[in-house]
Amino acid sequence: MFAKTRIRKHEVGLWFRHGDFKQVLTPGAYRLPWRRLRKDRVEVVDRTQTKFDHKLLEVLVREPALLEKLRVVDLKDDERALVWKDGRLGWVLGPGRHVFWDGPAELEVETFNVNDFAFTHLKIEAILGFRGGANFLDGVRVEAHERVLLFREGGLVSELGPGLHVYWKHAGKITWKSVDLREQVADVAGQEIMTADKVTLRINLVVSYRVAEVRKAVETVADYTQALYREAQLALREAVGGRALDKLLADKDAVGGEVRNALLKRAAEFGVEVLGVGLRDVILPGDMKAILNEVILAQKQAEANLIRRREETAAARSQANTAKLLADNPVLARMKELEALQDVLRGTKATFVLGQGDLLGQVRSLTATEDKPGCVLDELNESNEA
């Protein structure tokens, strides 16, 4: 009686006797006597499962007959490998011995040393998207408006520009710090400062800046934003403390310029360029606000009174000049009287009752004055005759 075993073209038979490897069986049919089944065993392995794993792998890879059919990738602690199967990434391998069947698939193995921790490859996107790639690779994508400083074991390695940068994991402690190169704004808000005349103000300052030297900004100070904020506080206190309230309110731009000049040199020491400084708000205490309003009101009232007196003086001077002109020219004076009479009678219905006698004399008596009776009528007559 025999036990029949068939091995197909894509398979390999592993013949064990008493648990020890005896022989590789190539494709074909094999018969083992039943009496031998207790001591003999045949394992059929599918070579389409490209990666070969076995509990006796360390023993099997030392068999020359089997080794001919295998491809062994033996990686040291500082080595990694990419295994491509038929042009597609199949495995990302770490340290250890990895065994693959040399066929029927076409294999390509790429080996890398992680001491050269920067990783570059033409198919970088495919590698990072591979399900096992994240276990061995790490990357940082740098935008156009930023720079990234790369550190290995605490030491600065390089400054990275825009693009994708990938590194092997477990090649030392690798960290990076991103720095934004765009213009930024720091609000130095709620600063309570006493002026030279002992008035306590609350001032909000705005500082616009950008990072000019990336390495200096990261290596010189722990946090360049906080360093700039602190220096702005000190410069603002010095600028405000040396001015009286009136001067401060009269020229706030001068305070901003003084703070900016003070910040320029200090900020440059840690790689930051100050672009502009301005006082956004100057908040007075409640009682000082009321006093200041009263002062301003008194000033404006004084200005209004001065203007009013000036206009009254001008009007009086004009009236004096008119009176002198009318006194020197009686005819002009009488014409002004006629204009006034015309304005009075405009829009009214006046009725004059005249008695018997000389009509001309009666009209003359209506418009005559004490000094010169009938002068208005005479002037009218003279005017008509003319």
> Which range has the top average pLDDT, 289-298, 311-320, 375-384?
311-320
Residue pair 133/92 in contact by the 8 Å Cβ criterion: yes
The token pair that represents 267 in the structure block: 């900020």
User: Mind listing the pLDDT tens digit for each residue in 48-79?
Assistant: 999 999 999 988 998 898 888 999 999 999 99
pLDDT beyond 50 at 384: no
Measured over the CA atoms of residue 273, residue 275, residue 281 and residue 283, the dihedral's sign is positive
User: How many other CB atoms sit within 10 Å of the CB of residue 227?
Assistant: 18
Distance CA 88, CA 106 (A): 10
Strand partners, 80: 112
The token pair that represents 204 in the structure block: 């909000």
Helix residue ranges, H only, 242-358:
245-250, 252-269, 286-328, 330-345
Q: Which residue has the higher pLDDT, 251 or 385?
A: 251
Q: Which residue has the tokens 């399900």?
A: 131
Indicate the SS3 state at residue 32.
Answer: strand
Residues across the chain: 386
Q: Which residue has the higher pLDDT, 357 or 46?
A: 46
pLDDT beyond 50 at 104: yes
User: Mind listing the pLDDT tens digit for each residue in 235-289?
Assistant: 998 888 888 887 887 888 888 888 999 999 999 999 999 999 988 888 776 666 5
pLDDT beyond 90 at 40: no
Rounded mean pLDDT of the chain? 82
User: Mind listing the pLDDT tens digit for each residue in 344-367?
Assistant: 667 666 555 555 555 456 555 655
* CATH, domain range 184-284: 3.30.479.30
Q: What does the pLDDT read at residue 246? A: 79
Nearest to 100 by CA among 132, 60, 69: 69
Distance CA 359, CA 363 (A): 6
* DSSP-derived secondary structure for 126-164: HHHHSTTGGGTEEEEEE-TTEEEEEEETTEEEEEE-SEE
> Residue 378 to residues 321, 340, 353, 367, 370: CA-CA distances in angstroms?
28, 18, 21, 10, 15
The token pair that represents 97 in the structure block: 């011995």
Q: What does the pLDDT read at residue 377? A: 43
Residue pair 17/43 in contact by the 8 Å Cβ criterion: no
Q: What does the pLDDT read at residue 292? A: 62
Nearest to 277 by CA among 297, 246, 252: 252
Q: Which residue has the higher pLDDT, 41 or 80?
A: 80
Share of the chain above pLDDT 70, in %: 83
- The pLDDT of 3-22, averaged and rounded, is 87
pLDDT beyond 70 at 378: no
Pairing of strands 200-211, 184-194: antiparallel
Distance CA 204, CA 185 (A): 13
pLDDT beyond 90 at 224: yes
The token pair that represents 252 in the structure block: 């706030």
Q: What does the pLDDT read at residue 380? A: 42
The token pair that represents 285 in the structure block: 């205490």
Domain ranges of the chain: 184-284, 285-328, 330-386
pLDDT beyond 50 at 383: no
Residue pair 368/362 in contact by the 8 Å Cβ criterion: no
Indicate the SS3 state at residue 124.
Answer: helix
User: Mind listing the pLDDT tens digit for each residue in 164-194?
Assistant: 999 998 888 888 899 999 999 999 887 888 8
End-to-end C-alpha distance for the chain, whole angstroms: 168
Per-residue pLDDT band at 93 (split at 50, 70, 90): very high
Per-residue pLDDT band at 162 (split at 50, 70, 90): very high
Which residue pairs from 237-246 have beta carbons closer than 8 angstroms and sit at least 24 positions apart in sequence? Answer: 237/191, 237/193, 238/262, 240/193, 240/195, 240/201, 240/203, 241/193, 241/194, 241/195, 241/196, 242/196, 243/195, 243/196, 244/195, 244/196, 244/197, 245/195, 245/197, 245/199, 245/201, 245/288
Indicate the SS3 state at residue 225.
Answer: helix
Q: Which of the residue ranges 8-22, 140-154, 301-315, 352-366 would you say has the lowest mean pLDDT?
A: 352-366
